[in-house]
Structure 1
Amino acid sequence: MEADDLEWNRTLREQWEFHWDHQVRARLDGLTDDEYFWLPVPNGWSVRPRGSSTAPLQIGGGDFAIDYAFPTPVPAPFTSIAWRLGHVIVGVLAARNAAHFGVPAASYDTWEYAGSAATALDQFETQLDTWLTGVRTLSEAELRIPVGPKEPYPEASMADLVLHIHRELIHHLSEVCLLRDLYPHTRTATNGATR
């Protein structure tokens, strides 16, 4: 097949969709609240009931807030599955959905972070569906247009952004899967979940 004959939109989407369908989706089934909030090391960042964190900043618009600091400490704190999903839901997907596909604005400061694994997965799948629906509508000409000032690299094409978002999803959801793998191997009768 010649490069000119490729359906670039489908090819870009399949980078993520194959990974989601065959490697990640089933790995998220049965995520418990204990796994969601679990921190295997002290002083990690998570999503917590508002007012219960010791992080420099606790941001969000609901009963739960995400731990944060600006600038990010070096080394960055270890983060829970809850924190990683919050980052993916808001910073990777929802903000981009708002910037490029006309849905309501979303930001770390105003987001209502999930207080349970089930709610977080529902939020994730809603934002993912919105992203993929938006990407499906892009013509080849639209994939070549620079993303503009809504993004940190305004000269990058929309195709570059799609690839970047899909790499971010693969990266962070792989981390979530690794934490799920680690969780049962480090739990003991005296080691309760840390929130």
Structure 2
Amino acid sequence: MDADEIDWNRTLREQWEFHWKHQLRARLEGLTDDEYFWSPVPDAWSVRPRGSSTAPVQLGAGDFAMDYASPQPVPSAFTTIAWRLGHVLVGVLAARNAGDFGAPAASYETWEYAGSAATALDQLETQFDIWLAGVGGLGDAGLRAPIGEKEPFPEMPMAELVLHIHRELIHHLSEVCLLRDLYLHTKPATNGATR
């Protein structure tokens, strides 16, 4: 097949959809609140009830806030599944959905972080749906158009941002899966689930 005949929009969407449907979705099913909040090391950053954090900064709106610091500590803080899902939800998806596809404005400071695993996974599904619909609506011309001033490299084509977001999703959600595996093998008596 000639490269000019490839439907690049479909190909980019399928890159993420395949990974989600065949690798990640099943791995995230049944995520418990214990896993969501579990900290395998002391002082890990997480999403916590507002006012209960010892981190220098608490980000977000609502009853739960995300631990943070600026500048970042060295070495970087270890983060829980809750924190990693919060990062994916806001920094990877929701802010881009708002900036590129007309979704409601979203930032780490204004996001209402989930107080349960089920709520976080529902938020994730919603943001995935918005992202894929937005990418699907770009068409060839939209993929070739410059990203614009809302991103650090405004002259790059939108296809570059799509690839970047997909890499971020695969990377961070694979970390979540690894933490689930660690939880399962560290706390087998409290988790009867098998994966």
TM range (shorter): over 0.9
Give the AA of the match of 1:132. Answer: L
Any idea what SS the aligned residue of 1:15 has?
helix
Mapped to 2, the partners of 1:70 and 1:157 lie a distance apart of: 30
TM-aligned CA distance change 1:19 to 1:53, over 3 Å:
same
Any idea what SS the aligned residue of 2:18 has?
helix
State how 1:148-163 maps to structure 2 within 5 Å. 148-163=148-163
1:87 maps to 87
TM-score by length of 2: 0.95
1:121 maps to 121
Give the AA of the match of 2:3. Answer: A
1:193 maps to none
Mapped to 1, the partners of 2:151 and 2:94 lie a distance apart of: 13
Any idea what SS the aligned residue of 2:149 has?
helix
How far residue 131 of structure 1 moved from its aligned partner, in angstroms, is: 0.3
Give identity over the alignment, percent. Answer: 77
Query: Is residue 99 of structure 1 aligned with residue 99 of structure 2?
Result: yes
How far residue 15 of structure 1 moved from its aligned partner, in angstroms, is: 1.2
Query: Is residue 145 of structure 1 aligned with residue 145 of structure 2?
Result: yes
1:185 maps to 185
Deviations 1:120-174 (A, max 9, x none): 0000000010000000001111101111111122122100000000000000010
2:31 maps to 31
Equivalent pairs counted in the alignment come to 190
TM-score by length of 1: 0.95
State how 1:166-177 maps to structure 2 within 5 Å. 166-177=166-177
1:69 maps to 69
How far residue 186 of structure 1 moved from its aligned partner, in angstroms, is: 1.2
How far residue 92 of structure 1 moved from its aligned partner, in angstroms, is: 0.3
Deviations 1:65-120 (A, max 9, x none): 00001111111100000000000000100000000001110000000000000000
What's the C-alpha RMSD, in Å, of the aligned pairs?
Answer: 1.2
TM-aligned CA distance change 1:149 to 1:189, over 3 Å:
same
Mapped to 1, the partners of 2:188 and 2:103 lie a distance apart of: 44
**Highest RCO, 1 vs 2 (Cα 8 Å, sep ≥ 6):** 1
How far residue 189 of structure 1 moved from its aligned partner, in angstroms, is: 6.7
Give the AA of the match of 2:18. Answer: F
State how 1:7-22 maps to structure 2 within 5 Å. 7-22=7-22
Give the AA of the match of 2:22. Answer: H
Mapped to 2, the partners of 1:142 and 1:17 lie a distance apart of: 20
